[in-house]
């Protein structure tokens, strides 16, 4: 069964290749065992992600990525095959990438991985052990997409 991936570009500040993001998301879904699930990736600017961050998390600032999982709390027997939404600020991604000498495109891919891992149940904020598991999986998926195992190095 094929995954349904929607990539919506709702910003005009940073050029993006929606097809490349969709292809990366498809590979990540397969690697995580969610092939055949639906996923939406929404690319926004800082003002939109700040609005969402304020609305859902009471944080009055932009952030790089927010995930909205659809599987939380739903019994597997009635669960739809909708993984959720990843909302990504490409404006923040571009700024963060510039600070460490990376390409904005690579930072967007890393944030896609990060957001999708949250949808799959990974949480780096629970404990050091959970953080280490998530970082290891990020490295594994980064290697799958880019051929190296270190997503945070320039």
Q: Which domains, ranges and CATH numbers included, belong to the chain?
A: 4-121 (3.40.390.30)
Name the DSSP letter for residue 126.
Answer: S
DSSP for 65-93, written as a single string: EEEEES-TT--TTT--SEEEEEEEEHHHH
Q: Could you tell me what percent of the chain has a pLDDT over 90?
A: 77
Helix, strand, or coil here: 8?
strand
> In whole angstroms, what is the distance from residue 75 CA to residue 118 CA?
18
Q: pTM of this prediction?
A: 0.91
Residue 130: the pLDDT is: 86
pLDDT tens digit sequence for 13-25: 999 999 999 999 9
């Amino acid at each position: 069964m094929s995954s349904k991936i929607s990539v919506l570009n709702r910003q005009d500040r940073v050029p993006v290749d929606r097809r490349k993001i969709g292809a990366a998301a498809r590979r990540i879904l397969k690697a995580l065992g969610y092939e055949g699930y639906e996923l939406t990736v929404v690319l926004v600017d800082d003002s939109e992600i700040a609005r969402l961050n304020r609305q859902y998390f009471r944080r009055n600032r932009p952030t790089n990525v927010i995930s909205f999982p659809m599987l939380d709390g739903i019994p597997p027997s009635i669960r739809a095959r909708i993984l959720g939404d990843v909302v990504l600020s490409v404006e923040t991604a571009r700024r963060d990438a510039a600070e460490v000498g990376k390409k904005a495109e690579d930072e967007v891919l890393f944030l896609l991985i990060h957001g999708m891992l949250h949808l799959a149940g990974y949480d780096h904020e629970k404990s050091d052990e959970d953080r280490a598991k998530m970082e290891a999986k990020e490295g594994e998926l980064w290697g799958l997409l880019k051929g190296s195992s270190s997503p945070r190095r320039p």
